[in-house]
Amino acid sequence: MPELPEVETIRRGLDELILQQKICEVKVFCAKSFQGDERAVLGRKIKKLRRFGKALVIDLSGGVSLMIHLRMTGQLIYDGEERYAAGHPSENFVADLPNRQTRVEFKLEKGRLYFNDQRKFGFVKLIQTDQIKKEAFIQKLAKEPWAMTPEELWQKLQKHQKAAIKSVLLDQTVVCGLGNIYADEALFEAKIHPKRQAGSLTIDETKTLLMAMRQVMDVSLQFGGSTMRNYVKADGSRGNYLDLFAKVYQREGQPCANCKTRIVKIKLAGRGTHFCPQCQIGGKND
DNA sequence: CTAGGATCCTGTCAGC
DNA sequence: TGCTGACAGGATCCTA
């Protein structure tokens, strides 16, 4: 369920730990989770970690790369001198590995990197480095909120006139990086109802929304996403983005931070959607 | 072309 | 206790 801040946190964390290490061994426990011939990575060195939206790319020596998408339940856990784990938070972060949710294991020179994924929606894919930009998923990705102007976003929203703004925010070809949490949080910050028709937003509202997207993800990035580093702290407490900063996500029935009205949860675009019915205006059937 | 729903898969939890 | 259905931080495919 990692969204941009979580994947970026993984990228930064692994950057400190696995660069220049050689891949000594690969075990694929679930064929579906590794696309391509895993033997092609043996003996190669990890040269660079890049992120495209929610996808992580690990460039190896010899012109090959691994593209990793965690989708809903993917995790990357590195066991070296100490453990670094990030992605979908779960007990796997502190469990003995590999376990039954481990799909791929990479043995490196100084440690092991596990790709765990309960639901198997995620994957590791072997690609020639020079073909990365031709990957359909990467090619279609829109800009991140920080790189986009309000006018650009507004133009894109015009192409989805009737669709609910919430579902449009989840479309990675409109703006990339948001998932279900940050879409709900950004709409709350911008005081826009998730059911608002995307085409009805004014330029001003679009600008406010764009700033809100940046803001909620900036906060999460600073904090390391909703990830392991803070999952179990030294004192045993479990703080994460959701506990500390989320104002609507998973807060159904709790009082709104602004007006104390109870947060409501509805289903929209097949996803749980949380909002304040008082602060967030303009929904068609609110 | 857009919009909305089904789908991939495993696990957990509420309710009967 | 055992079953059932709903739901879960994503993206794609299919239909209208």
pLDDT means per 10 residues, chain A with 286 residues, are 91 95 98 97 98 98 98 94 86 91 98 97 98 96 98 98 97 97 98 97 98 96 69 46 90 96 94 96 63
Question: Quick one: pLDDT at residue A88?
Answer: 86
Q: Which nucleotide is nearest to A118 (CA to C1')?
A: B10
**Interacting residues of A73 by C-beta distance below 8 A, sequence separation 6+:** A1, A88, A90, A117, A118, A119, A121, A122
Please state, as a whole number, how many other Cβ atoms lie within 10 Å of the Cβ of residue A284: 11
Tell me what pLDDT residue A243 has: 81
Contact A190, A155 (CB under 8 A): no
Does residue A269 lie within 7 Å of nucleic acid chain C, judged by its CB?
no
Q: From residues 185-224 of A, list those within 7 angstroms of strand B by Cβ.
A: 198-199
The reply to whether the CB atom of residue A266 sits less than 7 A from any atom in nucleic acid chain B is no
Active site residues of A: 2-3, 54, 271
A279 CB closer than 7 A to any strand C atom: no
The pair of three-digit structure tokens given for residue A233, joined into one six-digit string: 């702290």
Nucleotide of closest approach to A183 (CA, C1')? C9
pTM, entire model: 0.94
Q: Quick one: pLDDT at residue A61?
A: 98
Closest residue to B9 (CA to C1') is: A119
Angle of helix A203-223 versus helix A4-17 axis, rounded to 10: 30
Residue A86 has a pLDDT of 85
What does R_g of chain A's alpha carbons equal in angstroms? 20
